[in-house]
Amino acid sequence: MRGREDEVGSSPKAEAGLVRQAHGLTADLTTPSRAIYWLDLILTVAAAWGGLALAATTDSLAIGLVAGLVGLLALYRGLSFIHEISHLRPKDVPGFRLGWNLLIGVPLMTPSMMYEGVHNLHHAKDRFGTARDPEYLPLGRYSPFRLGLFAAISLLAPLGVILRSGILVPLSFVVPAVRRFVRTRLSALVINPDFVREDNDRTRPDWLAQEVGCWLWCWGVMALTVAGIAPIRMVLTWFALFSLATFVNQLRTLVAHYWENDGERMSFEDQFLDSVNVPPPALLPFLWAPVGLRYHALHHLLPRLPYHNLGKAHARLSAQLAATSPYHRVEEKGLFAALGKLFRRAGATPALAVEPNPVERQSA
- pLDDT tens-digit profile of 261-294? 888 888 777 788 899 999 999 999 999 999 999 9
* Predicted local confidence at residue 180, as pLDDT: 93
* Cβ pair 188, 118 in contact under 8 A: yes
Alpha helices in 101-175 (DSSP H): 119-122, 144-152, 157-163, 169-172
Nearest residue to 256 via CA among 154, 349, 135, 360: 135
Report how far apart, in Å, the C-alpha atoms of 342 and of each of 115, 175, 327, 351 are. Answer: 26, 43, 20, 14
Q: With a cut of 60, say whether residue 356 has pLDDT above it.
A: no
Q: By three-state DSSP, how is residue 275 classified?
A: strand
Higher-scoring residue by pLDDT: 77, 268: 77
Q: With a cut of 90, say whether residue 316 has pLDDT above it.
A: yes
Q: With a cut of 70, say whether residue 31 has pLDDT above it.
A: yes
Q: With a cut of 80, say whether residue 203 has pLDDT above it.
A: no
Neighbours of 204 (CB within 10 A): 12
Residue pLDDT, tens place only, 326-350: 999 999 999 999 999 999 988 666 5
* Predicted local confidence at residue 264, as pLDDT: 85
Angle value at C-alpha 275, between 158 and 144, nearest 5 degrees: 60
* Predicted local confidence at residue 199, as pLDDT: 82
* Predicted local confidence at residue 310, as pLDDT: 98
Q: Among 117-121, 164-168, 252-256, 291-295, which is the least confidently predicted range?
A: 117-121
Element (H, E) at 206: helix 205-226
Report how far apart, in Å, the C-alpha atoms of 40 and of each of 30, 33, 108, 241, 244 are. Answer: 18, 11, 18, 20, 22
* Predicted local confidence at residue 349, as pLDDT: 60
* Predicted local confidence at residue 142, as pLDDT: 93
Q: Among 60-69, 168-177, 198-207, which is the least confidently predicted range?
A: 198-207
Phi, psi (degrees; rounded to nearest 5) at 120:
-60, -25
Neighbours of 302 (CB within 10 A): 21
Nearest residue to 337 via CA among 263, 255, 221: 255
Average pLDDT, integer, range 107-136? 93
Q: With a cut of 90, say whether residue 1 has pLDDT above it.
A: no
Average pLDDT, integer, range 36-47? 98
Q: Among 17-21, 69-73, 324-328, which is the least confidently predicted range?
A: 17-21
Report how far apart, in Å, the C-alpha atoms of 117 and of each of 120, 121, 133, 188, 305 are. Answer: 6, 7, 12, 9, 18
Nearest residue to 294 via CA among 246, 255, 242: 255
Report how far apart, in Å, the C-alpha atoms of 18 and of each of 43, 116, 154, 269, 298 are. Answer: 36, 28, 36, 8, 11
Higher-scoring residue by pLDDT: 131, 353: 131
* Predicted local confidence at residue 359, as pLDDT: 37
Q: With a cut of 80, say whether residue 124 has pLDDT above it.
A: yes
Listing DSSP states for 339-362 in one string gives: HHHHHHHTTSS--------HHHHH
Average pLDDT, integer, range 319-332? 92
Phi, psi (degrees; rounded to nearest 5) at 38:
-70, -45
* Predicted local confidence at residue 13, as pLDDT: 52
Q: Tell me the pLDDT of the chain averaged across its residues.
A: 90
Q: By three-state DSSP, how is residue 34 classified?
A: helix
**pLDDT cut 90: percent of the chain above it:** 80
